[in-house]
Structure 1
Amino acid sequence: MKILYFYPDNPLSSTQGNNARASALLHYFKSRAISIDLVGCKSVDYAESDAATIVEHKLADNVFLLKKHKTKFYQISYFFKESLPNFFLNRIKQFRRAKLNHQVEFNEILKNNSYDYIIISYSCWASLVKNNSQLKNAKLVIDTHDFLTSQFQTTKKFKLGRFFQKEIELLCLFDIVIAISVEENYIYSQFLKSRIEIIPHTLTDNCISKTEKKEYDIIYVASDNPHNRNGINWFLEKVFPLLNREIKICIIGKITHCIADYPNVEKNKFVNDLNQYYSNSKLAICPMFTGTGLKIKVVEAMSFGIPVVCNERGIDGLYNKTDNGSLVTNNPEKFAHFIHKLIEDREYYDEISNQSEKYFKRNHHIDVVYGKLDSIFN
């Protein structure tokens, strides 16, 4: 079996949830000895050296990086072939991430190879395969990652009906639609005739001894996006002042660019081994009021059997909304109370920690998720 897997970003960047999901899928293919051609977009964070590392680790047979062309000739061609048609046809640019040069290079890959499956990440890149004559009867699969209509609702000229209709139209191009959460599955199943599969994020079982002394009381891992910025600002402004001064917090990821210095708060833009930080943390937080899809940081914490304190959006995507190792509130005083109780009450901590461990093993363990993927890829 040979698969082309398009994922635009660097799957080796572990401090961003969507990259962790892409990496997990590559590890699944490796475990099943499936031949993979990985296609991404070249950027500052995704260079040829990263592509070489992916091949070296045998996560893909080949890695193709689509490039940006900024030549004067390309700009003229783009104006007549993309900009003008987009304007006159009133296209939604948010759902057209693939530019002219991306399409040309992607088509060349398809022309020179034959695939059993072609997997596209995100509906906004679906145009890569739309009306494409080079598919050669490959079965089309889309890993949605997120319900993009909701993500785009703050953009200029957003109209719910128009954006939602476009997203469903693009998803209809695919034989199999992979949803990451139960909420997305519910929405898509109302409008699509394609086969829909819920494939949650998976990790190895990292549960460790609960008696082990931890270096950090709280860990928070996040990329830099509006949802995470709003969430962490709320936490630092509303919750942090209510916490005991001796509580030590570790924040990891590009979100650190947006955070000022605070006492007992350690900031790390990038770490080589994220697992080491989770295993040295007592609990995790996920302050978030907007956004859709499964929160990878929540599942990562659960894989270590550590409790999560979060807002209501933090449990989006989970099969169970209770008894899952998460303590949920939008109230800052109660948020701080949950943190203090977990740190100070050992019996209560063990109860929530056990819930976290059991929920993870039941829904996100590799054996469970790999079984679901096997049903898709034979």
Structure 2
Amino acid sequence: MSHKIYLVSLTFERENDTKEYEPFCQELKLVYQPKAKALANSALFLFTPVPLEVAYCRNKKMNSTVKEMMKEKRIDLIYIKRLRAAQFVDPETTIPVVLDTTDAMSRYYREATKSAPWYRKPLFLEEQFKYRLYEKRMSRAFKNWVVCSPVELEYLKRRTSADVKFFLVPNGVDTDFYTPTDFAPERHSILLSGLMDKFVNIEAAQYFIKDILPAILEKIPDVKLYIVGPNPPLSLRKLARHNIIITGGVEDLRGYISRSKVVVVPIKTGTGTRNKILQSWAMARPVVTTSKGLQGLKAIDNEHVFVADDPKLFADKIIMLLKDDTLQKELIQNSLKLVEEKYAMKTIVDELNTILQRVAS
């Protein structure tokens, strides 16, 4: 079934490449928010019940643009992506609304607080309690929520209005874009990727370099680690060595997945599911992660993926994969099959489309 999509989005960049989205949109409007203004918003709302991330996105033009779009067009359903975007939709609207929260943000900050350095704990604790209030408030306004994992669903059910309907839609991967290649991986190469200005990814990279990598180097001295992702902080860039390559942002992550023998996701905190795991599986690369990293994915340890929460065991699993091609192939075959059956984007889109039609009707 075809839809007419009118997309309104906030952006923090003056120049935006929208070619990827234009073929799918009847109309696309971007509202620019200078980062200085966004930071000023957060500072202004520091001592209010509004989460700082929500305040960061506050923008009157965005509100008016959404309002005008709803007035001018025949809108059958409003789809809100992320909790912080809910502020742009009138809670009194009579148009059906689906709020795709993806993650439970209060839970995210609860988990992050546990391992955050002392100077971040007060801020994370504040966001945790602010988001608890905000999630409750938004649940009184919008009654159809989409989440990406059973853990998030159960958590939010206990903390939102009783009449909210929850729909579970797992994250998916575009298996036409992320596909196995004939490119031979570099010998003894490891990939760790993510948005490197996010606390959970900074923490994961530092944990891997300091607590896991030394044990691997003892057994495989020529191992090479690629840390790929935009905006790595100085604290992380200082850890770069001849065998630790920190690239910053790259145009196409697929090249680094292809060149890597093993992909690692040593997440210690955080919520939701890891797209980087799905992308690696789809490109036929074995993954070693933590139980936290595997959260929300229907995968079995030692069958689709290797899971280890102990740093020495994590290192041992990587060493096994780097040395045993047969073991690699078994893990790859199983994870490829899992992606095709449960996480291919075509399947996920069909599930979401069914939900949207149900709510709109």
Q: State TM-score, norm by structure 2.
A: 0.80
What does residue 227 of structure 2 align with? Answer: 251
Q: Distance in 2 between matches of 1:255 and 1:328?
A: 28
Task: Determine whether 1:113 maps to 2:78.
Answer: no
Give the secondary structure class of the aligned counterpart of 1:291. coil
Q: Assess, with a 3 A threshold, how the Cα gap between structure 1 residues 170 and 263 changes in structure 2: closer, same or farther.
A: same
**Structure 2 unaligned blocks of 5 or more:** 114-121
Q: Assess, with a 3 A threshold, how the Cα gap between structure 1 residues 276 and 305 changes in structure 2: closer, same or farther.
A: same
Q: Distance in 1 between matches of 2:105 and 2:323?
A: 40
Q: CA-to-partner distance for each residue in 1:20-78, whole Å, 9 max, x for gaps?
A: xxxxxxxxxxxx5422222222323xx45423x2455x132322222338999xxxxx9
Shift of 1:221: 1.4
Matches within 5 A, 1:1-378: 33-44=2-13, 47-51=14-18, 53-54=19-20, 56=22, 58-68=23-33, 90-94=48-52, 96-97=54-55, 98-101=57-60, 102-132=62-92, 135=93, 137-153=94-110, 154=113, 155-156=122-123, 158=126, 163-190=131-158, 191=160, 192-205=162-175, 206-208=178-180, 213-215=184-186, 217-223=189-195, 224-243=197-216, 244-254=220-230, 256-257=232-233, 258-260=236-238, 261-322=240-301, 325-378=304-357
Worse overlay, 275-284 or 153-162: 153-162
Q: Assess, with a 3 A threshold, how the Cα gap between structure 1 residues 241 and 188 changes in structure 2: closer, same or farther.
A: same
Q: What letter corresponds to residue 43 of structure 1 in structure 2?
A: F
Q: What letter corresponds to residue 256 of structure 2 in structure 1?
A: Y
Give the secondary structure class of the aligned counterpart of 1:142. strand
Q: What letter corresponds to residue 247 of structure 1 in structure 2?
A: V
Q: Assess, with a 3 A threshold, how the Cα gap between structure 1 residues 186 and 323 changes in structure 2: closer, same or farther.
A: farther
Asked if 1 retains the 8 angstrom alpha-carbon contact of 2:288 and 2:317, the reply is yes
Cα-Cα RMSD: 3.1
Shift of 1:147: 0.9
Q: Distance in 2 between matches of 1:317 and 1:305?
A: 20
Number of aligned residue pairs = 328
Give the secondary structure class of the aligned counterpart of 1:314. coil
Worse overlay, 182-191 or 331-340: 182-191
Q: CA-to-partner distance for each residue in 1:220-257, whole Å, 9 max, x for gaps?
A: 21102111111100111111222222122222112544
Q: What letter corresponds to residue 220 of structure 1 in structure 2?
A: L
Q: State TM-score, norm by structure 1.
A: 0.76
Q: Assess, with a 3 A threshold, how the Cα gap between structure 1 residues 294 and 301 changes in structure 2: closer, same or farther.
A: same
Asked if 1 retains the 8 angstrom alpha-carbon contact of 2:180 and 2:282, the reply is no
Shift of 1:166: 3.1
Asked if 2 retains the 8 angstrom alpha-carbon contact of 1:123 and 1:171, the reply is no
Q: Distance in 1 between matches of 2:250 and 2:202?
A: 20
Q: Assess, with a 3 A threshold, how the Cα gap between structure 1 residues 374 and 83 changes in structure 2: closer, same or farther.
A: same
Give the secondary structure class of the aligned counterpart of 2:126. coil
Q: Distance in 1 between matches of 2:33 and 2:191?
A: 36
Identity %: 21
Shift of 1:324: 5.5
Give the secondary structure class of the aligned counterpart of 1:377. helix
